[in-house]
A = this chain, B = another copy of it.
Amino acid sequence: MSDDGRPRLGVGMVGHAFMGAAHSQAWRTAPRFFDLPLRTEMTAVAGRTTESARAAADRLGWLGSEASWKDLVARDDVDLVDICTPGDTHAEIAIAALEAGKHVLCEKPLANSVAEAQQMADAADAAVLRGVVAMVGFTYRRVPAVRLARQLVEEGRIGTVRHVRAQYLQDWLTDEESPLTWRLDKERAGSGALGDIGAHVVDLAQFVTGEQVTGVSGMLETFVAERPVASSSSGASPAGLGGVAGQGRGPVTVDDATAFLARMSGGGIAVFEATRFATGRKNAIRLEVDGSLGSLSFDFEDMNVLHLYDAQEPASTAGFRRIVVTEPEHPYVAHWWPAGHGLGYEHAFTHQVVDLVEALATGTQPAPTFRDGLVVQKVLAAVEESAADRSSWRDV
């Protein structure tokens, strides 16, 4: 992109595994399909070593590289820090970046504990007074079908929310010989399915309904208590999900699965489930919302589709409509392809960049905020407390 008079936004990214690849694709692609109000520059990426960072920069399209996130944060030509590392590092990096006057985009979960998340939200509140903004990456909000769902709820199309059914189903741990990775280590990951994928469906449910979870009753389960030690714990697979068995076995210290009941602030009830043991479900994020006037249904396995039931239609022709969310009238879609040409997983990351850059250019607060991330963290913590206390109710 030529120097065309738009203000420049220098971006620095920390981490370059699965999430780093997705974020890089977004930074590369957003200016090609959207008219961004800022001239984004992929200034530098930080890794753990000079070599790994340089290789990542070359592969992912960053102009420079740094062997330490601190050096990245210190650079004058970096205006925004994009944090793509595991959750245990988020608080330190994000707070440092905000204090250094850098805008922050931080991957979810915001942190591995409520305490850290609280510090981050406080830091974000302080920063905003200085014109520095922070946003947490609940990317699925920006899948066009999810955004459309939100719009329909906002317009009152389904009335008062009675039921929420939200599931995030994966199956990559079904094999008992699948090795340990950092995602199964409480120190690194904070929790298992709960924080990694449960966080997403809590956010989605709150986002789509526009309501808050007010209390929960939960359970956690670890089906396979020990697993083979991976030969490398570095998350070297592209997705950071795999691993290769090494010597001996080690304990799984996080949950394999969680389920919890909840109440929503609007009076409805909700059921949540997140698991890595739903054999045959690879990345099934399923959300159903039943209201007094209609219902919505979404499944990420068919991500370009939203189902809408309108109870105000005559009974003889009422039915769940399969809306193929690829029309120019749909959120984000007009910038891509003609109707019927579906988008993929990574497009939501591009939309995230677009929304963030537009907020920065207009001086508005992008959502979800760190405080939104904190709210999710509190829900997850309440689930853990409830699960530890015979599933008894916990207000959030």
Contacts and interface: CB of A to CB of B under 8 A. Distances in A.
A186 interface: no
A327 B290 CA distance: 19
A291 to B, nearest CB: 6
A217 B283 contact: no
Interface stretch (A79-87, A92-100, A124-132, A333-341): A333-341
Contacts of A334: 238
A172 B334 CA distance: 15
- With a 10 A CB-CB cut-off, give which of A307, A329, A344 has the most chain B CB atoms: A344
A163 interface: yes
B219 A340 contact: no
A309 B334 CA distance: 22
A292 to B, nearest CB: 6
A334 B241 CA distance: 13
B340 A170 contact: yes
A329 B170 CA distance: 17
A279 B321 contact: no
Nearest to A270: B259
A295 B170 CA distance: 12
Interface stretch (A57-65, A66-74, A243-251, A360-368): A57-65
A155 B271 CA distance: 31
A344 B320 CA distance: 21
A303 interface: yes
Interface in A336-354: 336-347
A187 to B, nearest CB: 23
Interface stretch (A7-15, A23-31, A204-212, A371-379): A23-31
A316 B321 CA distance: 11
7 contacts: A21-B33, A28-B29, A152-B317, A217-B217, A278-B290, A301-B340, A319-B324
Which 10 residue pairs are nearest across A and B when measured between Cβ atoms?
Answer: A283-B340, A282-B340, A280-B309, A344-B344, A239-B338, A217-B391, A319-B321, A319-B323, A341-B345, A392-B392
